[in-house]
Structure 1
Amino acid sequence: MPVLTEDKGATRIITLNRPERRNAIDIPLRVALAERLEEAMADPQVRAIVLTGAGAGFCAGGDISTMRRMDEVEARPRAQAAQRVIRAIWQGGTPVIAAVEGAAFGAGTSLALACDRIVAAADAIFSTAFTGVGLAGDMGIFASLPARVGPAKARQLMLLPTRLSGTEAAALGLADVAVAPGTALEHALADAERIAAAPPLAVAALKSLLARWPSDPLAVLEHEVDAQVRLFGTEDFAEGVSAFHEKRTPAFGSTSQRGK
C-alpha cells in the first residue's frame, strides 16, 4: 500500500510508504494520501495528524520515473490530484505535523510546508528542486514558502535551489524545530499529544482563521495547477526528465509551450 495509517491515542500517523523510491509521489500515492487525509479530517476521534515517510527519507518529491511530456488534457488531472492533498490539509480542521527525516525534495518540501508544524531531523535535507526538471513548483509552495520565510527569501530559494539541513531550515523558519537525527517522529508525536489535548473546535477555528491571513492561500492552488499544466508540455520538462534518467546535467532553454 502506498500510504499506511496507524492510530496512537487521538493521533493518526499517516506514512508515505514507497521507501524503495524514497517515498516519491506517483499517482497512486497522491490519490491514497488525499483519501487518508480526508478520512482523518472527517474522524472526530482524530485530534492530530502526524505525516511521515517510511524508511530513511520523508519524500523525494514527484516520481520522475512516471513523468513525461504531456498535453494539458493529461497534465491537468495529474496536477489537480496533487493539489487535492494540500486542500485536505488546509481545509481540514485537524492540525497536521510533518515529521521529516532524510530528504524532502521538490514536492516533498511542498508537502512538509503545507503542514501546520514541521519537526525536522537536524540532518534532514530540504530543497525546492523543481527547476531541475523544468517545472516551477506546486502543492501550495507559492503560498506556504513565502508565509514561512518571507517573499524575498522564498524567491531566492525557488530561483536558486539550495539544499538546507534541518538545522538551517529551522533557523530560516522553513521548519519549526530541528531535533536529533532519528527522533523527528518521536518529537512530532509528543507535539501531537499536546495538540490533541486542546479544544478541537477552537483548534479548527484557529486553523481556518490563520489560513485567511493575510489572504486565502487556497486561491494560489488553481494558479499553480495552470502553471504546472503549461510546464508539463514544454521541451524543458522533457529535457529535465531525460537528463534525470540519463544521469546528466539538463540543458534548458525552451521559451515556448509544447515546443511551439
Structure 2
Amino acid sequence: MPDTDTVSLDTEDDVATLTVSRPERLNALNVEVLEGLQTGIAEAEAADARTVVLRGAGDEAFVAGADIGYMQDLTTPEAQAYAELGHDVARSLETFPAPVVAAVDGYAFGGGCELALACDLRVASEDAVLGQTETDLGIVPGWGGTQRLPRLVGDETARRMIFLGERLDAEAAADADLVGEVVAAEAFDDRIDDLAGELAARPGFAVAAAKEAVNAAHEEPLTAGLATERRLWSGLFGTHDQREGMAAFLENREPEFQ
C-alpha cells in the first residue's frame, strides 16, 4: 500500500483500484498525493494487475486539479520539480502494461483532467465536468494537457478548452471524444466494476502488446509504428494465450486465458 493517507490501493480479482483520498480538498494533487500515486502504480505493476482503475474519493470530484495553495509561491526551479513529478505519474499511467481506466465522477480540472488523459479509457458519470482550466490561474497545463488533449479531441476543441478554460459536462465531453461513455450516477460504480472485470479477463500479453502498439501511433512516425506493431504481433506467437485463443476458436469453445 502507498505510505500515505491520501492514496489507497486495493487489489481484487486482478483489478487494482487507486483512489485519491482528499475529499475535503476535492482530491487536489499535492506532492504527497503524487508520490503516493507513484508508489501505488509501482505496486500495482508488481502485483501483475491486469487492469487499473483510477478514481477520487467522495462524490464531488475525480481530481479537481493540482493544489493551488501549494503552487502559489513556488519558484521556477520548484515549479519545474513539481511539473516533472506530475509528468512522471502521468507517464506511468500511460505506459502501465495493462489498461488503465479513469473513473471520472465530479470535477476533473487541470491536473485531474491531465491524469485522466493519460489513462487508456475514460468513463464519466453524468455528474462529471472536465476542463483544462489553468489559464484561469495565469499558467498553462503542465502535466501533458497541451500534448495529449489535441490528440484526443482535435486541435480546435483543445485550443478552446486551454485558451478559454472551457469546461465540458459529461455529454459534451463524450461528444468531443474526451470520454468514451457516460453512465448514470446510480449505475456508475457497477459499470466501472464490470468494465474493469471485462478488461482483466482479456488475454494479458495481447492487451499489453496492443496498448504499446496504440501508444506508438501517437509517438512514432508511421513506418516506425508499423515496425513496432509487427514486432509485437510476432512476439505473441508461442504464448499460452495465443495457442489457447486459436485452439478455442477452432474447437468452437470459450478460451481459458492465463
Q: TM-score, normalised by structure 1?
A: 0.79
Q: Identity rate of aligned residues, in percent?
A: 35
The answer on whether the counterparts of 2:29 and 2:63 sit within 8 Å (CA) in structure 1 is yes
Amino acid at match of 1:48: T
1:70 deviates by: 3.0
1:16 is the counterpart of 2:20: yes
* Inter-partner Cα distance in structure 1 for 2:115 and 2:24: 19
Query: For each residue in 1:225-258, what CA deviation from the matched residue of structure 2 results, as whole angstroms up to 9, or x when unmatched?
Result: xxxxxxxxxxxxxxxxxxxxxxxxxxxxxxxxxx
The answer on whether the counterparts of 1:109 and 1:128 sit within 8 Å (CA) in structure 2 is yes
Report the counterpart of residue 223 of structure 1 in structure 2: none
1:160 is the counterpart of 2:164: yes
Gapped runs of 5+ residues in structure 1? 217-260
Query: For each residue in 1:55-82, what CA deviation from the matched residue of structure 2 results, as whole angstroms up to 9, or x when unmatched?
Result: 0211110111112233332222111111
Query: For each residue in 1:99-144, what CA deviation from the matched residue of structure 2 results, as whole angstroms up to 9, or x when unmatched?
Result: 1111111111111111111110112111110101111102222232
The answer on whether the counterparts of 1:128 and 1:157 sit within 8 Å (CA) in structure 2 is yes
Correspondence for 2:95 among 87, 91, 97: 91
* Inter-partner Cα distance in structure 2 for 1:166 and 1:157: 14
* Inter-partner Cα distance in structure 1 for 2:156 and 2:199: 32
Correspondence for 1:47 among 47, 50, 58: 50
Correspondence for 1:202 among 191, 206, 209: 206
Using CA pairs under 8 Å that are at least 6 residues apart, name the structure with larger relative contact order, 1 or 2. Answer: 1
* Inter-partner Cα distance in structure 2 for 1:98 and 1:156: 23
Moved more, 124-133 or 35-44: 35-44
Report the counterpart of residue 137 of structure 1 in structure 2: 141
Aligned counterparts, 1:78-117, within 5 A: 78-117=82-121
Q: CA RMSD in A?
A: 1.4
Report the counterpart of residue 5 of structure 1 in structure 2: 9
Correspondence for 2:183 among 179, 192, 203: 179
The answer on whether the counterparts of 2:90 and 2:114 sit within 8 Å (CA) in structure 1 is no
1:125 is the counterpart of 2:129: yes
Following superposition, which runs of at least 4 residues in structure 1 exceed 6 angstroms of deviation?
none
The answer on whether the counterparts of 1:48 and 1:192 sit within 8 Å (CA) in structure 2 is yes
Gapped runs of 5+ residues in structure 2? 221-258
The answer on whether the counterparts of 1:61 and 1:108 sit within 8 Å (CA) in structure 2 is yes
* Inter-partner Cα distance in structure 2 for 1:183 and 1:82: 31
